[in-house]
Amino acid sequence: MDFVAGAIGGVCGVAVGYPLDTVKVRIQTEAKYTSIWHCIRDTYRQERVWGFYRGLSLPVCTVSLVSSVSFGTYHHCLAHICRFRYGSTDAKPTKADITLSGCASGLVRVFLTSPTEVAKVRLQTQAQAQPQQRRPSASWTSAAAPALCPAPTACLEPRPKYRGPLHCLATVAREEGLPGLYKGSSALLLREGHSFATYFLSYAMLCEWLTPAGRSQPDVLGVLVAGGCAGVLAWAVATPMDVIKSRLQADGQGQRRYRGLLHCVVTSVREEGPRVLFKGLALNCCRAFPVNMVVFVAYEAVLRLTQRLFT
């Protein structure tokens, strides 16, 4: 049931946090935005509400699988560690056991999420072209007018390169090969490993602190607080590699700038200073709290419901 509960919690989290994720990616990859509100205003002015949900369909379809694997891997890995070290899966794990299991769950995610992350970032950073016809001038009916605009198609702006998530994946695979679908996976590995170790460890510790005396589990409010804080702490340690990951994955829509992970880090820091590694940190933390509140409440609710039904 850990897999099922994780899948349901993951879908709920995506529904809550995707618009801010789009803003976060654009801030990290496009230097023209000077602040969060600048990015929000510009995105809404140019693309309206739909611009915040660009590339959503693929994460919704895949997040249930990814979240299921994350939570399932964590609990199964923790159970195997407890059985190996203490002889029983019911033994209380140490902080090191939780950290190791969380790290393992994060590393497993990379093989599933890297292609969808590439598609998501490419779609989120792709400007929505608005085909518009030029305004006719006073000389439109003159003999020179056809030379200025010989055909209606010549007056249209270019269409977006990617028409949707599946088209984006197919285009990247065709133009860049299989490695293109796993672009930025080295940064993704570094991001997911230690961030998920922090995620599950902080959640377990906060739940223990927030559990009332005489009870084995925290109440709903305790789960909300623990889940939100765990998400914030995880993104706090993940943001530097998240910036590099986003830049590597977006680097393919025009002239390529980065030769790899280290080159991207060095170039970004040299051009924009060390603060570039924390671009989007405030937004990540603001997004992480409500998203992970919802994720863990849904996850715990499904687990407790199934326990009642089958016991």
Q: How confident is the model at residue 216 (pLDDT cuts 50, 70, 90)?
A: confident
Q: How many angstroms separate the Cα of 274 from the Cα of each of 269, 270, 283?
A: 5, 8, 18
Mean pLDDT of 248-252: 78
Question: What digits encode the pLDDT tens for the residues 2-12?
Answer: 667 666 666 67
Per-residue confidence band for 36, with pLDDT thresholds at 50, 70 and 90: confident
**The amino acid at 51:** G
Report the pLDDT averaged over residues 260-287.
89
Sequence-distant (≥ 6) Cβ neighbours of residue 252 within 8 angstroms: 122, 172, 175, 176, 180, 183
Please name which of 274, 282, 223, 277 lies closest in space to residue 246, comparing C-alpha atoms: 277
**Number of neighbouring beta carbons within 10 Å of residue 263:** 12
User: Over the stretch 106-130, which tens digit does the pLDDT of each residue have?
Assistant: 999 888 888 888 888 888 777 643 4
Kindly list the structural domains of the chain, giving each domain's residue range(s) and its CATH number in brackets, ordered by start. Answer: 2-128+161-310 (1.50.40.10)
What pLDDT, on the 0 to 100 scale, is given for residue 3? 63
Distance in angstroms (rounded) separating the CA atoms of residues 98 and 104 = 10
Cα 7 to Cα 111: distance, rounded to the nearest angstrom: 17
pTM over 0.85: no
